[in-house]
Every structure is written in C-alpha cells, then in structure tokens.
Amino acid sequence: MQRLIIGLCTTIALALASVTTVHATDGTVPEGIFYKSQQPTQYLAADLLLKAKVKGADGEIFGDIEDLILNEYNQVEGVIIGVGGFLGVGEKRIGVRYSALQFSEKDGQTVVSLPQATKEVIKALKPYKRARPPKSFLQGVTERAKELAAKTSETTKDAYEKAKKQVGPALEKAQQEAGKAYEKAKEATQQAIDSAKKATQQQQ
C-alpha cells in the first residue's frame, strides 16, 4: 500500500511540475498527454493523502496532512501536517519525512499514523520554515479572478462560434431568398414601366 501511495504522489508531482504547451487548433486531442479516467492501480492524493487525519503514538489524531514536500526532482520527500489550533487559528505546521509515515487499512479506510509523534515531541517541534512566503490572500483572489475571466472569455468565444455555425446556413439561405425576391421585384417593376410606356405611346 505504501509503495502505491509513493508512486501516486510522485506521479502527481511530476504532472503538476511539467507544463506542456499543446498547439492543437483543430481540437484534436494529442496522444499520451491526458488521462480519460482513473485506473484501478491509481489513487488520487485528495482522496488518500491530502487532508488525511494522522494518528500519533497514543493512537489519537493529532493533525492532518495539508501539503506535500517535493525535492528538486519533483519526488515526494515529506508532508506538512497541521497540528493544534482551532479552525486554523493558532495551528502549527510541522514537516514530516514521508518514510516515517505508516499506512494501514481499517474498515475499508486508509489509516495514516506517525508512531514517533508523542505529545511531548509535537510540543517541542518548531514550525516548518518555508524558503518562500506563501501566497497572500489578495494574490490568491487575483489569480482566481484571472482564471475565471479566462474561462468566461473562452466560453463566450465557443458560444459565439457555435451560434455562428448554427445561424450561418440559415443566414445564407435567407440571403439567397432575398436575392431571388429582389430580382423578381426588379423584373416586375421593369415590366410595369414598359407597359406604362406602351400605354402612353398608344394614347399619343
């Protein structure tokens, strides 16, 4: 089970770290890039690791996994566990080596534990230090707004192109019918003018 989880985390990390630009203007989906569905041997970090409750030496839950620690090769080296606090207030985040975690199954659920985590050890640990500060609330909101704007723009463009395709044939047909009607009206008008000229000439 632990090997599967390690493989899962490594795969997710590599996928998140690698950004591939695909130039497919015709809508053709390139091979070997996207997953259609979850395979039996695949696990999702959000289901198995992230937000998972972690039990300590006494078997009690002392925190939950909030993030993954990756090395320079995008391999999972550890996790960030939030301990203490209430609703995120006063919470301390500690870094734990991935190899120290133990995984087991109980009642169909995966149980994550850290046997070395006693109350004394957790209290003595200093908070995990980041090399870079986390994104501010404003940065997060700004990025989300840009993402939403981009999605809205793309959706609007797609809707326009779809409407254009649907209306196109009808518009073309209407233009053809209008052209025919115009020619008929033009012909009828010319006939009326010719008839009027003849009638005038006869009266003279």
Q: What is the pLDDT of residues 76-131, one digit of tens each?
A: 899 999 998 665 567 899 999 999 999 988 888 889 999 999 999 999 999 999 98
pTM flag (> 0.75): no
Q: List the single range of 28-42, 51-65, 111-125 with lowest mean pLDDT.
A: 28-42
% of residues, the chain, pLDDT over 70: 70
Contacts of residue 195, Cβ cutoff 8 Å, sequence gap at least 6: none
Q: How many Å apart are CA 172 and CA 164, to the nearest integer?
A: 11
CATH 2.30.30.240: does it fit domain 2-134? yes
pLDDT band at 67 (very low <50, low <70, confident <90, very high): very high
**Amino acid occupying residue 80:** I
C-alpha to C-alpha distance for 198 and 204, rounded to whole angstroms: 10
Whole-number pLDDT of residue 22:
44
Phi first, then psi: give them for residue 105, nearest 5 degrees.
-110, 135
How confident is the model at residue 18, as a pLDDT? 44
Which one is predicted more confidently, 91 or 58?
58
Two tokens at 168? 């196109």
Secondary structure of residue 33 in the 3-state scheme: coil
Q: Give me the pLDDT at residue 192, please.
A: 75
- The pLDDT of 64-80, averaged and rounded, is 93
Please report which confidence band the pLDDT of residue 19 belongs to, taking 50, 70 and 90 as the band edges: very low
What percent of the chain clears pLDDT 90, i.e. is strictly above it? 31
Rounded alpha-carbon distances, angstroms, from residue 86 to 59, 90, 102, 132, 189: 20, 7, 26, 25, 87
Tens of pLDDT, residue by residue over 124-166, are 999 999 988 776 666 667 777 777 777 676 666 666 677 667 7
pLDDT of residue 97: 96
Q: Distances from the Cα of 28 to the Cαs of 25, 150, 154, in angstroms?
A: 8, 21, 17
| 94: exposed, middle or buried (Cβ count in 10 Å: 0-12, 13-18, 19+) | buried
C-alpha Rg value of the chain to the nearest Å: 34
Which pLDDT score is estimated for 49? 85
Edge-to-edge order in the sheet of strand 76-83: 92-97, 76-83, 61-70, 53-55, 109-113, 102-106
Residue 45: is its pLDDT beyond 70?
yes
Question: How is the chain split into domains, by residue range?
Answer: 2-134, 135-197
What is the mean pLDDT of the segment spanning 19-24?
45
Cβ-count burial of 130 within 10 angstroms (0-12 exposed, 13-18 middle, 19+ buried)? exposed
